[in-house]
Amino acid sequence: MERKHNIALTANAKELRKNMTKEERHLWYDFLRNYPVRFLRQKVIDNYIVDFYCHKARLIIELDGSQHYTEDGLVKDRIRTEIIEARNLTVLRIPNNEVNLHFREVCEYINRIVEEKCQEA
């Protein structure tokens, strides 16, 4: 049976849960933590640790800081997204500045996507 994730990353994921970014904390504590459909934070999938994961919607939410918009960051994110989406998961990338400046709209967007994905299931 093929493993769903790299066990060696589990300790790193636990550490990242303790040390979330300001934007991750905001999204988690002010929206996803009590969302009616369960989300996990800092979930290991393949050889990656994703910011937020919803099994029911088969959805990954990644919050992207400035390092994701460099030439190298864009290439790494594209490869990462392709590998994760090969597992029939959807990756939603949201810039940190959107979380900071348009939080309500980000939450509404996530809610709409989750509802759509759950209806497809």
Say if strands 48-54 and 90-95 run parallel, antiparallel, or are unpaired.
Answer: unpaired
Q: Smallest Cα–Cα separation from 47: which of 86, 17, 93?
A: 86
Percent of the chain surpassing pLDDT 70: 90
Report pTM.
0.86
Q: What is the pLDDT of residue 11?
A: 73
pLDDT score recorded for residue 67:
62
Buried b / exposed e across 21-49, counting CB within 10 Å, b at 16+? Answer: eebbebbbeebbeeeeeebebbbbbbebb
Closest of 35, 42, 58, 27 to residue 120, by C-alpha: 58
The 3-state DSSP class for residue 17 equals helix
